Amino acid sequence: MQSGILPPADRQLLLFQRWLSERLPAIDDAGHRRLLGLFATWHVQRRLNTLADRGPLTSNQIQQARNEVHLAIAFLGHLGESGRALADCTQADVDAWYAGGYTPRRLTHAFLRLAMRSKHMPKVTVPHRSTSKPAPLAQHQRLTLLRQTVNRDDILLRDRVAAALVLLHAQPLTRIARLTIDDVLQEDGEVLVRLGDPPSPVPEPFAGLLLTHLDQRPNTLTAANPDVGGSFLVAGPDSP
């Protein structure tokens, strides 16, 4: 190449092509192998070729290309675990896939669109949401929302308690959903919630809301609900 005998070639692109030539034959399902080869050729490699024309490819660009292929293979495996073929894929299958981790799995978007265009799978909605970090909530906005958790009786008490924990303790809803009634403590006239070590105090009037919610929880320790008896956010009688 330096002498002009061979045309210039991007080393990273050559490494990706070699990796792909080894990865695709390892896929047992012939239909999946053909579709993944189509995806790798007309989407992944075509994008890499365009980028290589502008300058040397980076290791990050090659890693993203590999991840796209890996995730396409993983999605097909996800369907297989449900006993479903790609041609039978439903919206619920796609939603369950992205619910397992939207940020990394957003690289599946292109594969799903190609599969739909080539009529290998039914039309579904590919979810999209911004993965950029939102601006922090301003203090006056936080105080306004906290006032609503106290005064808005038209909002379910369960939801108001969850909102208070988000606004006061910056807890994600996934963490709050894992709380149990044993994580709420009363010591020396103070209400605490076990979000870590040590437990965090809950100020009034939110402590009162929390205790009221716990008092209104129905008895869920039944044979039909053996796993939710200690769940913190089980709906109370004010739920629809």
Q: Are strands 190-193 and 184-187 parallel, antiparallel or unpaired?
A: antiparallel
Percent of the chain with pLDDT over 70: 88
Q: Per mean pLDDT, which of 77-81, 145-149, 158-162 is the most reliable?
A: 77-81
- If we measure between CA atoms, which residue out of 213, 231, 211, 212 comes closest to residue 221? 231
SS3 187: strand
pLDDT band of residue 228 (cuts 50, 70, 90) is very low
pLDDT band of residue 3 (cuts 50, 70, 90) is confident
Please say whether the beta carbons of 160 and 149 come within 8 A. Answer: yes
Say how far apart CA 118 and CA 77 lie, in whole Å: 19
What confidence score (pLDDT) does residue 148 get?
Answer: 84
Burial class of residue 186, CB neighbours in 10 A (0-12, 13-18, 19+): exposed
Strand partners, 185: 192
What confidence score (pLDDT) does residue 220 get?
Answer: 47
Please say whether the beta carbons of 184 and 193 come within 8 A. Answer: yes
Helix (H) or strand (E) holding 192: strand 190-193
Say how far apart CA 73 and CA 111 lie, in whole Å: 10
Q: 35-54 burial, b for 16+ CB within 10 Å, e for fewer?
A: bbeebbeebbbeebeebbee
- If we measure between CA atoms, which residue out of 127, 69, 137 comes closest to residue 103? 127
Say how far apart CA 206 and CA 132 lie, in whole Å: 31
What confidence score (pLDDT) does residue 135 get?
Answer: 67
CA distances (Å), origin 48, targets 22, 36, 194 = 18, 16, 49
